[in-house]
């Protein structure tokens, strides 16, 4: 028998509140829910996490004391119930009834009356409760992140917050080695799929509404891939040439590797990743595109010794980071990240850059990218790297997109537009 959808959502959300990522917690639960309800489960999980700081603050006003750790599933269920009342088209009476009923599925019958009381109180006192929220919670952001955005991007903070709180657009990358973007847009029109061209990448197309990739013309043939426009800039900045040896150092799941080879099939590309399971995703994506690269399990901090010094003409480092530029795609960031994480990611990025730098030949270029909008992971990391390596210099990409920074270029999350990614070019003398 399939699990109740709200019970499933509460259990997934509880795992995230305990520290697991949504990508780890959700897939297994999808198999326990009836096929017709899987879309609702995803909506409840993603939507609740997008609003999590706001929902947490509302709950704090209505609960006499925090629930115990062992009842984190009930806390998650309450958040899910408030999300339904605030953000969905589910009728209020149905949302309340189904959420209260889910306490039985969680085997927490004692929580039935409390859940009903909290949700009914929110219905009665919504305006007063919302008016009492502090600015960060009212904007569905943790206080540390809200303050950081106001400090680092005061003029753009409103748009960043709006983008973080929306469902992300579905963006395609047209395989320009097989056809033009204009021709593919015409195919979409013929198929009744509304879309528009991107503003920065010549291969980017934005769909008006997300859809199953299997319904996209030519997807199975490799004519098109799903990739955010900001992420498409990575391969364009690497600018591969025929015969060059190129290392995609943090390659999984393979979108950037595929794009590099679409731009130049005659490039000699090595796709490396520390996770062997995610490396399989790279292989699957390349097979769909009918492209080939050498796949290598390895850690950029201590690359495999057989790669050899000065082995590569170009290196792409899409470094692990706080993901503060892609929150709308990974809304669990709002619940999982802390301000102290920025320094930890910067240290990890520094180890990766130091580990990979010897692999770059003299005169070569390393493209450093993060999906962060925090200067501590971007310009600050680059500044410390330059101080350690006298043979390195940084150059901002010669482009007209994004915001100029000390060493690079920063695309910021924008409503209906690209994600937030940082890029700089490190050149070896």
Active site residues: 371
Region of residue 427 (left: phi > 0; alpha: psi -120 to 50; beta: else): beta
Buried b / exposed e over 4-17, threshold 16 CB at 10 Å, is bbbbbbbbbbbbbb
Q: Which residues contact 31 (CB under 8 A, 6 or more apart)?
A: none
The C-alpha atoms of residue 153 and residue 163 are separated, in whole angstroms, by 14
Distances (CA, A) of 158 to 226, 412, 414: 27, 11, 10
SS3 168: coil
285 neighbors 253 (Cβ within 8 angstroms): yes
SS3 1: coil
The closest alpha carbon to 371, from 317, 326, 426, 416, belongs to: 326
Buried b / exposed e over 399-408, threshold 16 CB at 10 Å, is eebbeebebb
Roughly how many angstroms between the first and final C-alpha of the chain, as a whole number? 64
Query: Which residue shows structure tokens 């219905």?
Result: 123
H and E: helices and strands count for the chain = 17, 13
Burial bucket for residue 280 (CB in 10 Å: 0-12, 13-18, 19+) = middle
116 neighbors 62 (Cβ within 8 angstroms): no
DSSP 206-272: EESS---GGGSTTTTTTSEEE--HHHHHHHHHH---TT-EEEETT-TT-HHHHHHHHH-TTSEEEEE
The C-alpha atoms of residue 84 and residue 6 are separated, in whole angstroms, by 11
Edge-first strand listing for the sheet containing 204-207? 195-197, 204-207, 170-174, 224-226
The C-alpha atoms of residue 248 and residue 49 are separated, in whole angstroms, by 31
């Amino acid at each position: 028998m399939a699990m109740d959808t709200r019970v499933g959502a509460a259990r997934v959300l509880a795992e995230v509140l305990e520290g697991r990522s949504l990508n780890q917690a959700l897939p297994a639960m999808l198999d326990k829910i009836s096929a017709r309800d899987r879309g609702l489960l995803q909506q409840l999980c993603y939507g609740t996490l997008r609003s999590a700081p706001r929902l947490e603050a509302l709950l704090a006003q209505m609960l006499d004391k925090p629930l115990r750790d062992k009842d984190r599933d009930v806390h998650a269920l309450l958040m899910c119930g408030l999300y339904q009342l605030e953000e969905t088209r589910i009728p209020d009476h149905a949302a309340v009834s189904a959420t209260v009923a889910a306490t039985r599925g969680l085997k927490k019958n004692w929580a039935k009356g409390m859940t009903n009381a909290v949700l009914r109180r929110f219905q009665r006192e919504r305006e007063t409760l919302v008016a009492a929220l502090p600015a960060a919670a009212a904007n569905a952001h943790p206080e540390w992140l809200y303050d950081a955005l106001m400090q680092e991007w005061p003029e753009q903070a409103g748009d960043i917050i709006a983008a973080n709180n929306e469902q992300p657009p579905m963006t395609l990358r047209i395989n320009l080695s097989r056809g033009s973007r204009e021709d593919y847009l015409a195919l979409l029109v013929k198929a009744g799929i509304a879309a528009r061209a991107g503003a920065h990448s010549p291969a980017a197309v934005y769909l008006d509404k997300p859809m199953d990739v299997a319904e996209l013309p030519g997807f199975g043939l490799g004519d098109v891939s799903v990739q955010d426009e900001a992420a498409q800039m990575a391969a364009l900045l690497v600018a591969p040439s025929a015969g060059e040896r190129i290392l995609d150092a943090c390659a999984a799941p393979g979108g950037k590797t595929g794009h590099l080879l679409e731009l130049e099939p005659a490039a000699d590309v090595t796709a490396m990743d520390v996770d062997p399971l995610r490396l399989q995703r790279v292989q699957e994506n390349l097979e769909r595109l009918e492209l080939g690269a050498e796949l290598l399990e390895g850690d950029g901090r201590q690359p495999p010794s057989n790669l050899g010094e000065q082995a590569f003409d170009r290196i792409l480092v899409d470094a692990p980071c706080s993901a503060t530029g892609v929150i709308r795609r990974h809304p669990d960031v709002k619940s999982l990240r802390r301000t102290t994480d920025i320094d930890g990611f910067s240290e990890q990025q520094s180890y990766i850059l130091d580990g990979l730098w010897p692999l770059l030949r003299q005169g070569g270029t390393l493209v450093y990218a993060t999906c962060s909008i925090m200067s501590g992971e971007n310009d600050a990391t680059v500044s410390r790297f330059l101080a350690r390596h006298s043979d390195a210099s940084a150059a901002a990409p010669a482009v007209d997109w994004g915001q100029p920074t000390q060493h690079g270029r920063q695309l910021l999350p924008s409503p209906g537009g690209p994600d937030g990614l940082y890029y700089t070019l490190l050149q070896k003398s």
